[in-house]
Amino acid sequence: MRIGITGGLGFIGTAVGREAQQRGHEVIVFSRKPQSPPEWAVECRVLDMTEKPALNLGGLDAIVHLAGESVMGYWTDAKKQRIRDSRIPVTEAVVDAMKASPDGPKVLLCASGTGAYGHRGDEVLTEKTPMGTGFLADVCRDWEKAANEARQILGARVVLLRTGMVLGQGGAAWPMLKKIFSLRLGSRLGDGKQWVPWIHLEDEVGLILHLLETPACKGPFNLSAPHPVTNAEMTQQIASVLGTTTFIPTPAFGMKLLMGELASVVLESQRAVPQAALDSGYVFKHSQFREAVASLV
């Protein structure tokens, strides 16, 4: 297959591109900056929101759309606007580009997040569970709606990648967790009862390629391991694997003072399970949090 990847030079995109190339696919990377392609891609094309269409999807069989401003950082109004603007209008631009290229892709895999479910306590969340409320849930709803236009208007196969916290070398979460815990500053956040949907980078990549290569797969998929952990379990297991101790628990108000609205990402509970992925026959390499963390150390 000829596969385009927006955000293809980012954390997940690079890992997906490398593995796709290893499996014999041809990879075309899209970036906002013109540049030469990495060794695993055949071409690098530009994603330019000032142009119409914003990207050239000619000759592609599928597009994996991962581009988006990082949600990490202090959520000022301007940051929140960038988080939205880099997702909804850019996804609309991807669908417009699909419309504009008759020889373009008929398959769209679009990033989304388990944040789509909002704050849900102990409720088990499958892809059949209605979406929730809150800033990230609202962004995900509009993001997925924009992607679904490709199905409604073009009859394309659309897959929505509702991803949890991705654990891998070089990504946002694991290097930060490792550093904090190595300094013995890792601590339970809030009451620690909130569920954390997580996935090892190998499964994030394996599952994205499984969804790409399996024509029957469409609609939303939770990209999270079969066994989510609570924040308290996560804290204890990381400390145990790294052979360190934990700091005194950080109360929710402290997190909010420190991180502002971004604290919702670590304080809200999403007990997401990958029901659709398991039903589709995907076998996880890393199902248990402790083993997944140990594999990264």
Ligand X SMILES: NC(=O)c1ccc[n+]([C@@H]2O[C@H](COP(=O)([O-])OP(=O)(O)OC[C@H]3O[C@@H](n4cnc5c(N)ncnc54)[C@H](OP(=O)(O)O)[C@@H]3O)[C@@H](O)[C@H]2O)c1
Measured at CB, which residue is nearest to ligand X? Answer: 10
Token representation of residue 213: 């290569």
Q: Which residues in 134-153 contact ligand X (CB under 6 A)?
A: none
Q: Which of 86, 224, 231, 264 binds ligand X (CB under 6 A)?
A: 86
Residue 243 CB, nearest approach to ligand X (Å): 25
- Under rule CB under 6 A, residue 66 binds ligand X: yes
Residue 35 CB, nearest approach to ligand X (Å): 8
Q: Which residues in 157-186 contact ligand X (CB under 6 A)?
A: 163, 165-166, 171-173
- Under rule CB under 6 A, residue 239 binds ligand X: no
Residue count at the site for ligand X (CB under 6 A)? Answer: 24
Decide whether 92 or 247 has the Cβ nearer to ligand X: 92
Decide whether 18 or 251 has the Cβ nearer to ligand X: 18
Decide whether 84 or 247 has the Cβ nearer to ligand X: 84
Report strand pairing: 195-196 vs 229-230.
antiparallel
- Under rule CB under 6 A, residue 55 binds ligand X: no
Residue 32 CB, nearest approach to ligand X (Å): 4
Decide whether 7 or 190 has the Cβ nearer to ligand X: 7
- Under rule CB under 6 A, residue 68 binds ligand X: yes
With the C-alpha atoms ordered 183, 261, 224, 41, is the resulting torsion angle positive or negative?
negative
- Residues 11-40 vs ligand X: string with x where CB under 6 A? xxx-----------------xx--------
**Which amino acid, residue 150?**
A
Q: What is the 3-state secondary structure (H, E, C) of the chain?
A: CEEEEECCCCHHHHHHHHHHHHCCCEEEEEECCCCCCCCCCCEEEECCCCCCCCCCCCCCCEEEECCCCCCCCCCCHHHHHHHHHCCHHHHHHHHHHHHHCCCCCCEEEEEEEHHHHCCCCCCEECCCCCCCCCHHHHHHHHHHHHHHHHHHHHCCEEEEEEECEEECCCCCHHHHHHHHHHCCCCCCECCCCCEECEEEHHHHHHHHHHHHHCCCCCEEEEECCCCCEEHHHHHHHHHHHHCCCCCCCECHHHHHHHHHHHHHHHHCCCEECCHHHHHCCCCCCCCCHHHHHHHHC
Decide whether 176 or 183 has the Cβ nearer to ligand X: 176
Decide whether 107 or 139 has the Cβ nearer to ligand X: 139
Decide whether 251 or 295 has the Cβ nearer to ligand X: 295
Decide whether 71 or 100 has the Cβ nearer to ligand X: 71
For helices 88-100 and 77-85, what crossing angle results, to 10°? 20
Closest listed residue to residue 267, CA positions, set 219, 240, 228, 230: 230
- Under rule CB under 6 A, residue 56 binds ligand X: no
- Residues 88-127 vs ligand X: string with x where CB under 6 A? --x--------------------x-x--------------
Q: For binding to ligand X (CB under 6 A), which residues are involved?
A: 7, 9-13, 31-32, 66-70, 82, 86, 90, 111, 113, 163, 165-166, 171-173
